[in-house]
Amino acid sequence: MDIIADLQIHSKHSRATSKNLSFESLEKYGRIKGLGLMGVGDFQHPIHRQEIKENLKEDEYGLLWTKTKFPFMWQTEVSLMFSQDGKRRAVHLLIFAPNGETADQIIEYLGSKGRLDYDGRPIFGITCRDLVKDLKSISDKIEIIPAHCMTPWFGLYGSKSGFDSLKECFQDQSSRIYAIESGMSADPSMLWRFKEDVNIVSFSDAHSHWPWRIGREATIFDLPELEYEGIMNAIRTGKGFKATIETPPAYGKYHWDGHRACNFSCAPEETNKLKGKCPKCGKDLTIGVDFRVEELAKAKHGYKPDNARQFFSLLPLHELIAFSIGSPLASRKTWEIYNALTDAFKSELDILLNIEKAKLARVCDEKLLELITRNRESRVKVKPGYDGTYGEIVLEHEEQKKLF
């Protein structure tokens, strides 16, 4: 059976997250989105740990279930800030636990390294290598995956404080890292070029429960049963790992280089001409993912390894609706159209991936139908995001006349 999983979620106890985040809201919109499994987020935070205990029940396979039978997995994210090889490093890592007992052992370990109560994504002065070694000594079933691996400030390969390879980062523990998470500003076709021997997963890093956030990136598994070990075995070996759902890299907040304060962005070629400086103020540009990929790539554009998994490049349905009617993402008008579509069909992801055009045409107008079709075929142009700013849908003049 296909399981669409979003395993990078935050709780309301993390900074810059919605205070309305709850298991109830995540389940409601997770079902509408088309998800079949989500991470609990921030399981080491003491208040959230209590909320997990009060709202979810663990089964014999290590998964947690709501009273209305929606599954979650033990998951958290930590921020490591440390010095290595004479440089300041900062890397975000996802941590997965096979059951509550192991999660509590992880909590005890993290608590010995610093405070757990001030933020759902706590900061520790531990190297990536030491964290992996220490957690694997608790249980080899614990999984550690570098999150949004290309983002400048906290990605494994980030331009500001990252590394040039898994080996450089994790040293003698690198063989215990089986996957990296692509993040919104990169996709597998970019990361394949590094020729790192790992699988590439994709999750949303959601800071709210809204459907334009959760499940915007996800991983599809084809497994006979839903259980922790089956999911992690698929991530480690590729067996049962079917595909990923990615946003177009240009939609991400760090795809191009730029300086948000000056409203300036540019492609890598222009960055080289500018010698990495903002032409408006002279300060350093934030070097984005597109530039960094070219720095690290060992293979040319178009390289695809033999074990490459399929991926779908999709913008969230709310983005398409809002653009088609010229209305904000969360406006009443956008919601009305979204609700009409998701009431008529199985889920948002089913609409974006599978529903025939003739059936969609019964519910949505011609403009939106064209955008959904273009989205499915990766033909929606996006002005690249940069320096913390999301990318935006744009149309050429002739396309604008045709659609609008």
The pair of structure tokens assigned to 223 is 């497994």
Tell me the average pLDDT across 95-120.
97
- Residue indicated by tokens 């494994």: 156
Note the pLDDT tens digit of each residue in 188-213.
999 999 999 999 999 999 999 999 99
Same domain, 94 and 199: yes
- Residue 63 contacts residue 103 (beta carbons within 8 Å): no
| Cα–Cα distance, 174 to 132 (Å, whole number) | 9
Same domain, 333 and 203: no
Task: Identify whether residues 130 and 17 lie together within a single domain.
Answer: yes
State whether 95 and 220 are in the same domain.
yes
Number of domains in the chain: 2
Residue range 258-282, pLDDT digits in tens: 999 999 999 999 999 999 999 999 9
Same domain, 225 and 373: no
Residue 72 lies in a domain: yes
In-domain check, residue 395:
no
Residue 297 lies in a domain: no
Do residues 108 and 206 both lie within one domain? yes
The span from the CA of 92 to the CA of 258, in Å, is 22
- CA-nearest of 396, 64, 153, 390 to 251 is 390
Which residues, listed in sequence order, are joined to residue 88 by a DSSP beta bridge?
Answer: 83
Q: What is the pLDDT of residues 280-323, one digit of tens each?
A: 999 999 999 999 999 999 999 999 999 999 999 999 999 999 99
CA-nearest of 175, 230, 198, 314 to 36 is: 230
Q: How many helices (H) and strands (E) does the chain have?
A: 15, 18
DSSP state of 282: -
Is residue 396 in some structural domain?
Answer: no
Q: Which of 250, 266, 292 is the last residue of a domain?
A: 250
Co-location of 77 and 174 in the same domain: yes
Q: Rounded to an integer, what distance in angstroms lies between the CA atom of residue 334 and that of residue 338?
A: 6
Question: In Å, what is the CA distance from 11 to each residue of 218, 272, 300?
Answer: 18, 40, 40
Same domain, 144 and 26: yes
Residue 404 is predicted with a pLDDT of: 55
Q: Tokens 């709850």 — which residue?
A: 22
Residues 6 or more apart in contact with residue 214 via CB below 8 angstroms: 6, 9, 26, 29, 30, 33, 35, 38, 204, 206, 208
Quote the domain boundaries for residue 214: 2-250
Same domain, 105 and 236: yes
**How far is residue 186's CA from residue 244's CA, in Å, rounded to a whole number?**
12
* CATH number of the CATH domain containing 211: 3.20.20.140
In a domain, 306, yes or no: no
Same domain, 41 and 171: yes
Amino acid (one-letter) located at 60: E
Amino acid at 365: D
31 inside domain:
yes
pLDDT computed for residue 395 by the predictor: 81
Residue 403 pLDDT: 57
Helix 128-138 vs helix 100-111: angle between axes, to the nearest 10 degrees?
Answer: 140
| Amino acid making up residue 305 | P
Mean pLDDT estimate for the chain: 96
Task: Specify whether 201 is located in the same domain as 321.
Answer: no
For 168, other C-beta atoms within 10 Å of its C-beta total 15
**Domain identity same for 201 and 109:** yes
